[in-house]
Amino acid sequence: MKHRLIAVVVLAVLATGCAAGRAFRKGQESARNGDWDTAVAEYTKAVQASPDRPEYKIQLERAMQTAAQNHISRARELEAKDQLDAAMIAYKRAVELDSTNRLAAAKVAELERAIRDRIEATRPRPQIDKLREQARTLNQPIIRLQER
């Protein structure tokens, strides 16, 4: 009975080690291919399976930094093409990967404002605003009723 328990524990440790190693190798392959988002996912699996392996953590951090920079570059391209929604998503992903990146966080806020302003600009103005504008352009004084 005791030997079975030991065997099960040894197999579990080996399986975890194999899973971590497999995920780490997939992460390395993805990094070599320039697929940094997949590398981050695989390195994350490796770190979760073997949190005591510093090389896994180092590679995960490196992949996260590189992926964040790639998302920022892509966001800039999208922003230049006036694809603000897609650019904002790319900046948000960069912030998820590197929460210390103030540039990306600021760009998210800036694009949210720009998108909101564009939406507001396309909405029809209320009738009262149109009447006020007409009154201003005619330069007529507004009649004010006084209380008696």
At 138 the pLDDT is 77
Least Cα distance to 26 among 46, 6, 50 occurs for 46
Give the pTM. Answer: 0.70
Q: What is the pLDDT of residues 21-30, one digit of tens each?
A: 899 999 999 9
CB 92 within 8 A of CB 125: no
Place of tokens 């800039």: 76
Q: What is the pLDDT of residues 15-72, one digit of tens each?
A: 445 788 899 999 999 999 999 999 999 999 999 999 999 999 999 999 999 999 999 9
Give Cα 138 distance to the centre of its chain.
Answer: 50
pLDDT of 119 higher than 70 = yes
Instruction: Return contacts of 35-44, CB within 8 angstroms, 24+ apart.
Output: 36/63, 36/66, 36/67, 36/70, 37/67, 39/63, 39/67, 40/64, 40/67, 40/97
CA angle 23–29–26, rounded 5-degree value: 15
| CA 61/CA 95 separation, integer angstroms | 14
Q: Domains of the chain by range and CATH?
A: 2-124 (1.25.40.10)
